[in-house]
Amino acid sequence: MSMDRLQEKIRQKKNPTVAGLDPTLDHIPQHLKDEAFAKYGKTLRGAAEAYRLFCFGLIDALQDVVPAVKPQSAYFEVLGSAGIAVLEQVVAYAKEKGLYVIMDAKRGDIGSTCEAYANAYLGGISIDGEPIVSPFDADCLTVNGYLGTDGIKPFTALCKEHDKAIFLLVKTSNPSSKELQDMIAGDRVVHTVMADLAVRLTDKEQLMGKHGFSRIGAVVGATHPSDLKNLRAKYPQLFFLVPGYGAQGGKAKDVQYAFDQFGHGAIVNSSRGIMCAWKKTEDGTGRDYQEAARAEAIRMRNDICRYVAIL
Amino acid sequence: MSMDRLQEKIRQKKNPTVAGLDPTLDHIPQHLKDEAFAKYGKTLRGAAEAYRLFCFGLIDALQDVVPAVKPQSAYFEVLGSAGIAVLEQVVAYAKEKGLYVIMDAKRGDIGSTCEAYANAYLGGISIDGEPIVSPFDADCLTVNGYLGTDGIKPFTALCKEHDKAIFLLVKTSNPSSKELQDMIAGDRVVHTVMADLAVRLTDKEQLMGKHGFSRIGAVVGATHPSDLKNLRAKYPQLFFLVPGYGAQGGKAKDVQYAFDQFGHGAIVNSSRGIMCAWKKTEDGTGRDYQEAARAEAIRMRNDICRYVAIL
C-alpha cells in the first residue's frame, strides 16, 4: 500500500526526510541556466529547461540518501504549460530512480472537479475507450480539506483504486495558521476536526495499511512542537508530513515529536536547505550544487537521527 | 480596478452570471471530438484539442450574453501539459472577446510558493531580466484560505500591482461544507472568520474599488440562501461569486440574496447547465451546442433577473 511503501523506503534508507523540489531561477546555478537558455532562449521554455536540469541533478545526487522527493507544483505552474511538461518529467525521473513522489499541490474541490484533480495527479484518464494515460502518476498528493468530506472522498476513492495516498492539511507551519486552524469550538479545535475527518474516512473506507498508517496522512508543521506532540498522541494512525524544518525555524529536537516510539509515522521536509546548499559553500559558483545538496541531506538526516531511532 | 471592471461588464450586459468552462470528453459533442482525434489521435493532446474547440465554440456563442467565464483548472490539469497549453489559449481567447476571466483553481499556500501561484495565474515572471511573460494573465483567481493571512497576502499584493482580484472560499455550495465552515467558536463561525480576514486585509491594504467592492471577493454557495442573506448584510464590501445554481439545487429566488439593493455585488455561476444544454435539445447530436448554450445562458439571465434588477 502506498503509505506502507513510504514507510518502507524510509526504513531502508534510515532517513525520515523528504527533499522538496521548489525550483526558481534564483536558486539555480548559473551554468545550468546558461545551458538551458542557450537551447531555448530566455523564455518560459528556457526557464523550464533550467528547472529540469536542476531537478534531475538534485535527484541524481540525492537518490540513495533520501526516500522521497516533494515537487512543489506552484513553481512549475508559473511557467505555464512549459513548466507542467517539465513537472511531468521530474515526477517520472524521480520514480525511475526509486524515489517516492509526494506532489505538493494542495488541491481541493468537490464532486467531479475533485475527481479531475485526483485523476490528474494520482490517476489518469481514458480517452474514448483507450487505456488510461497518466500525466503525472505521483505516489501521493497534498490536499486542502476546507470544503469538507465532499472534497476528500474523491481522493480516497481513487487512492484505493490506484494504490495511492494523500496528506491532508491539518496544522500548517506558518505563523498565521492559528487564525483559522486553532479556532476553538466547544471541545474541538479546527485542525483536529480536520484530523478527525481523516480518521473517520479511514475507518469507513478501510484505508489502513499493514504498518498501521492510513492512506490519509496529515500535514503538521515543525514550528508547533506542542501541537506535534499532542497530535501524535491523539492520531497514531495518521502519517505526518512535517514542513517547517530549517528555514522556517523548526529544529530536529522539535520534529522528534512527529514520530512514534519506533521512529515511524513521519517524514520531515527540507526544500531550500537542500536545494540552495550550494550558496553556502566556498566555491560559490554553484558547480558543486549536487555535492552540496547531498552533504546537506546527509547532515539533516544525521541531525534528525540524533533524536529519532528508526526501528 | 479589476472588481470594478467585473461589475461594469455585468451592468453593460445586464447579466449577473458567469459561464463555467468545465470540459470533459463526456460533455463534448461527438463532431468536435472526431475533429480533434483526427488531428492528434486519441491522446492527451487530442483530448486537449477537443477541449479547445468546445471552449472556443462556447465563448463565441456566449460572448455577447455573459460578462465572464470561469475555466475550472482541474479539468485541464488532468490532461497534463497538453491541457494546460489549451487552458492558456482559452484564457487568452476569452479575454480577446472582452470577457472577464475568473480562473477557478482554488489555490492556497504560503510565502514564496503563494507568490508563485499568484504570478502563475494573475501575474507573470521575468526570465533573467527579460520583460515579464504571463502564462495565463487571468483577471481573477479563486483562493483557499485555510492557511490564514500568510496564504492570502501574496495574492493581494500582486492584485494591487497588476490590477487583479481574487475570490476567497468562504461558504461553499456542497453539503459537507458545514463540517468545517459552520463550526461555531464563541460568537464566530469559521466561514465568517474567513470573510473577516478579507475585510481586515481590504482595510489594511486599501483594496476598495470605486463601486464599493474590495479586490477580495467571497465564494458563497447558492445552496445556503440564509447564509447568503446574512453574509450579504454583514459584508457589503465583498463581491460574491455564487456557485450551486441549477444542477446543485440553487434557484433564482435563492441567489437573489447575494445581491445588494442595486442588484450589484454578485455573480452566479452555471457550468453544466450551459455547457451541456445540447444534451436536452431535440437534435441530440450536439451539433447545436452553441445555440443550446446561448439559449440556456439567456434563460438563466432572465430567470435571475426576475428577482434581481441591475441598476
Instruction: Using alpha carbons, select from B168, B166, B198, B172 the residue that is nearest to residue B101.
Output: B166
**Rounded average pLDDT over B18-31:** 98
Residues of A in contact with B176 (CB under 8 A): 147-151
A189 CA to chain B: closest CA distance, Å?
9
For B75, the closest of A47, A116, A151 (CB atoms) is A116
B176 CA to chain A: closest CA distance, Å?
5
Predicted-complex ipTM score:
0.97
Residues of A in contact with B25 (CB under 8 A): 127-128
Are the beta carbons of A180 and B193 separated by less than 8 Å?
Answer: yes
Contacts of A299 (CB under 8 A, 6+ apart): none
**Rounded average pLDDT over B242-251:** 90
Residues of A in contact with B243 (CB under 8 A): none
Stretch (H or E) spanning A2: helix A2-13
- Closest-CA residue in chain B for A247? B111
Please measure the distance between the N-terminal and C-terminal CA atoms of chain A and give it in whole angstroms. Answer: 20
Task: List the catalytic residues of A.
Answer: 106
Instruction: Using alpha carbons, select from A99, A98, A116 the residue that is nearest to residue A107.
Output: A116
* Average pLDDT value over all residues in chain B: 96
How sure is the predictor about B185, in pLDDT bands with cuts at 50, 70 and 90? confident
Q: What pLDDT score was predicted for residue A285?
A: 95
- 3-class DSSP assignment, residue A173: coil
Burial code of A12-44, b = ≥16 C-beta within 10 A, e = fewer? ebebbbbbbbbbbbebbbeebbeebbeeeebbb
pTM above 0.90, yes or no: yes
Are the beta carbons of A179 and B144 separated by less than 8 Å?
Answer: no
* Distance of alpha carbon A95 from alpha carbon A111, whole angstroms: 29
* Distance of alpha carbon A178 from alpha carbon B44, whole angstroms: 42
Q: Assess whether pLDDT exceeds 90 at residue B249.
A: no
Are the beta carbons of A116 and B80 separated by less than 8 Å?
Answer: no
* Average pLDDT value over all residues in chain A: 96
Classify residue A190 by its DSSP letter: H
Number of Cβ within 10 Å of residue A4's Cβ equals: 18
- Closest-CA residue in chain A for B122? A78
Cα atoms in the Cβ-side hemisphere of radius 13 Å centred on B245: 33
Distance of CA B124 to CAs A251, B132, B161, B182, Å? 34, 6, 11, 36
Cα atoms in the Cβ-side hemisphere of radius 13 Å centred on B2: 26
DSSP states of chain B as a string?
-HHHHHHHHHHHHT--EEEEE---GGGS-HHHHHHHHHHH-SSHHHHHHHHHHHHHHHHHHHTTT-SEEEEBHHHHHTTHHHHHHHHHHHHHHHHHTT-EEEEEEEE---HHHHHHHHHHHTS-B-STTSPPB-S---SEEEE--TT-GGGTHHHHHHHHHHT-EEEEEEE-SSTTHHHHHT-EETTEEHHHHHHHHHHHHHHHTT-B-TTS-BSEEEEE-TT-HHHHHHHHHH-TT--EEE--BSTTSB-HHHHGGGS-TTS-SEEEEESHHHHTGGGGSSS-SSTTHHHHHHHHHHHHHHHHHTT----
Q: What pLDDT score was predicted for residue A247?
A: 79
Are the beta carbons of A85 and B83 separated by less than 8 Å?
Answer: no
Are the beta carbons of A176 and B150 separated by less than 8 Å?
Answer: yes
In total, the C-beta contacts within 8 angstroms joining chain A to chain B are 228
Q: Assess whether pLDDT exceeds 90 at residue B247.
A: no
Residues of B in contact with A46 (CB under 8 A): 127
Q: What pLDDT score was predicted for residue B246?
A: 86
A283 CA to chain B: closest CA distance, Å?
22
For B128, the closest of A33, A88, A176 (CB atoms) is A33
Stretch (H or E) spanning A70: strand A68-71
- Closest-CA residue in chain B for A192? B180
For B80, the closest of A84, A112, A178 (CB atoms) is A84
For B174, the closest of A110, A128, A184 (CB atoms) is A110
For A106, the closest of B109, B148, B179 (CB atoms) is B109
**Rounded average pLDDT over B123-146:** 97
The pLDDT tens digits of the residues spanning B46-100 come to 999 999 999 999 999 999 999 999 999 999 999 999 999 999 999 999 999 999 9
Residues of B in contact with A148 (CB under 8 A): 172, 174, 176-181
For B22, the closest of A106, A113, A125 (CB atoms) is A113
B211 CA to chain A: closest CA distance, Å?
29
Catalytic residue among B9, B33, B70, B106: B106
Contact at 8 Å (CB) between B67 and B103?
A: no
Residues of B in contact with A175 (CB under 8 A): 150
The pLDDT tens digits of the residues spanning A24-41 come to 999 999 999 999 999 999
Mutation site, A132, A176, A220, interface B, largest B CB count within 10 A? A176
Residues of A in contact with B125 (CB under 8 A): 44, 47, 78-79
Classify residue A128 by its DSSP letter: T
Local confidence pLDDT in tens for the 311 residues of chain A: 999 999 999 999 999 999 999 999 999 999 999 999 999 999 999 999 999 999 999 999 999 999 999 999 999 999 999 999 999 999 999 999 999 999 999 999 999 999 999 999 999 999 999 999 999 999 999 999 999 999 999 999 999 999 999 999 999 999 999 999 999 988 889 999 999 999 999 999 999 999 999 999 999 999 999 999 999 999 999 999 999 998 788 999 999 999 999 999 999 999 999 999 999 999 989 999 999 999 999 999 999 999 999 98
- The answer for A221, left when phi > 0, alpha when psi is -120 to 50, beta otherwise, is beta
- 3-class DSSP assignment, residue A101: strand
